Amino acid sequence: MKRHIFSTIVIMLGCFVMSACVDDDYTELNKGETELALTASSADITLAETTRSDEGVTLSWTTGTNHGTGNRITYKLELAEAGTGFAASYVAADGVTQEYTWTATQEQLNDLLRTNFGVKADNRYDVEARITATVAGVYDVQTAETSFSVTTYEPVSATLYLTGTATDGGTDLSLATEMTRTDNGEFTYTGDLKAGTYKFITTLGAELPSYNRGEDGSLVLRTTADEPDNLFEITEGHAYTVTANLLTGETTCVKSDGVRPAYDHLYFVGDENGWGFDEMAQDPLDPFLFRYGREFTVGREFKFGTMSGSWENMYKATQPNAPYTDTSMEFVPGFDPDNKWFLNADETGRAYKICVDIRSGKERMMMREFTPYKTVWLVGDAAPGGWSLDDAVAMTRDSSNPYVMTWSGTLNAGELKFTCDRQSDWMGAWFMPAVNGAEPTGTEEKMLFIDKSDDDFKAQYIDVNVNDIDQKWRIAEAGTYTITLNQLTETITIAKQ
């Protein structure tokens, strides 16, 4: 877990960091006659997607001089292709004061060069950087330059699909099965595959480029039709988990007994919702778990359906009028028996969260009263307080809904999650994205709640070590955001203004 304690200012499109070397002596009148100088952390840089989060380059500059005026010095940092005289420069920073470094990760530098200076055949760029220092009220403009070379990489595909006779879509490329991207170049799929063959394509409906089977069973990129079209093979129809790592060429395909629940949808049904069918949320860490939270004002009977509007194939209590603390549950394929849980009148007027586990032979219904956290804080290098729990920024509770928290302000580019308790060992209660590295959609979406300090909560997960979970949203662009977080429904909206 990264815990950045220093202060950062993210500028431009939220892609880069201005940090450190902050001059806090606002009253010093004479900065001396320090000559403005600019240096790069390396003269020859090679970038790689496997180390995309590492530092790509840091540009550092001296203060220059304010000629004894007492006025602050304002800096502008530009990058340009060598030899262009900065005619079409990329402005990396403009109007900054009391900041003397600029840093880009390898991924950020790679994207900057390829986007702004065009894609080079050899992926090599000769770059010039220029810092301009301006003192208010002084005509003299100070400049300094430096240069460095960068070898970039071509990013692997952000999408991947399974196609072939082993898949439901067969060889129809427009019906290929989309895999789930878990990280740069890493994909996974869990589901049924038939006896047959398959390969991977990067674009739905397009045969090339594709990833095929190499002689040693690894992934081989195929970009032309005259290259070998070797396929992976499934000898027995079954549920499988397929993984592909485009950066390392590794791929696996293993049988996945019991990894898929019998149903992908579950519904709360009872007196509380007028015997309607409220769809529950499938847990992002464990697909056998389904979650539901609400205030109960009516109580009385409830059970769980597997299809909206259908009274067959339901999950029910194992005894009549079972108390909500009774975790025993059974699947009833027909109509009877029709046992239900029963919430007494004196147990209403409060909120509950329900977790239902539909593992065959291990069915459980876990229902707990829920008291909202008084405060929820923003944490991460995207947040104003960075990774410091002490400096974490608190959200504001909605005056009309104790479960809703709101916050508006500036987010940096970077990672973000929410702590409910600021527990110093980081092993407390958190709200996280359903998928690690997900960018906010700008609309309401489900999120993940975990409590690493609650043994009862952790016991809900049979095959997941909750203490190891550390998922964050990725804020790609700095700016003003409004966040609305609902603790009870476990939904969030992170919207850029």
* DSSP codes, 62-114: -----TTS-PPEEEEEEEEETTSTTTT-EEEEEEEES--EEEEEHHHHHHHHH
Contacts of residue 113, Cβ cutoff 8 Å, sequence gap at least 6: 125, 127, 150, 152
CATH number of 8-151: 2.60.40.3640
pLDDT confidence of residue 16? 61
State the SS3 of 348-385.
CCEEEEEEEECCCCCCEEEEEECCCCCCCEEECCCCCC
* Cα 129 to the center of its chain, rounded Å: 32
SS (H, E, C) 449-490: EEECCCHHHHCCCCCCCHHHCCCCEEECCCEEEEEEEECCCC
User: What pLDDT is stored for residue 30 in this prediction?
Assistant: 52
CATH for the 267-369 domain, from 3.40.50.300, 3.30.300.30, 2.60.40.3620, 3.40.50.10860: 2.60.40.3620
Level-2 CATH architecture, domain 377-496: Sandwich (2.60)
Query: Of 412, 432, 406, 392, whose CA–CA distance to 475 is shortest?
Result: 412
3-state secondary structure of 271: helix
- The DSSP call for residue 37 is -
Torsion over CA: 329, 330, 335, 336 (sign): negative
Report the sign of the C-alpha dihedral through residues 259, 263, 267, 270, in that order.
negative
Cβ atoms 333, 313 nearer than 8 A: yes
pLDDT in tens, the chain (497 residues): 333 322 333 333 344 655 444 444 433 445 556 899 999 999 999 999 999 999 999 999 999 998 888 889 999 999 999 999 999 999 999 999 999 999 999 999 999 999 999 988 889 999 999 999 999 888 889 999 999 999 999 999 999 999 999 999 999 999 999 999 998 999 999 888 999 999 999 999 999 999 999 999 999 999 999 999 999 999 988 888 999 999 999 999 988 755 678 888 999 999 999 999 999 999 999 999 999 999 999 999 999 999 999 999 999 999 999 999 999 999 999 899 999 999 999 999 999 999 999 998 899 999 999 999 999 999 999 999 999 999 999 999 999 999 999 999 999 999 999 999 999 999 999 999 999 999 999 999 999 999 999 999 999 999 899 999 999 999 999 999 999 999 999 999 999 99
d(CA 134, CA 487): 49
The single residue listed with the structure tokens 């059970």 is: 303
Round to whole Å and give the CA distance between 140 and 95: 16
C-alpha span between 358 and 315 (Å, rounded): 8
Q: What CA–CA distance (Å, rounded) separates 90 from 129?
A: 9
Q: Which is nearest to 275 in space by CA: 298, 241, 248, 243?
A: 298
CB 163 within 8 A of CB 169: yes
Q: Which of 449, 105, 490 is nearest to 280 (CA)?
A: 490
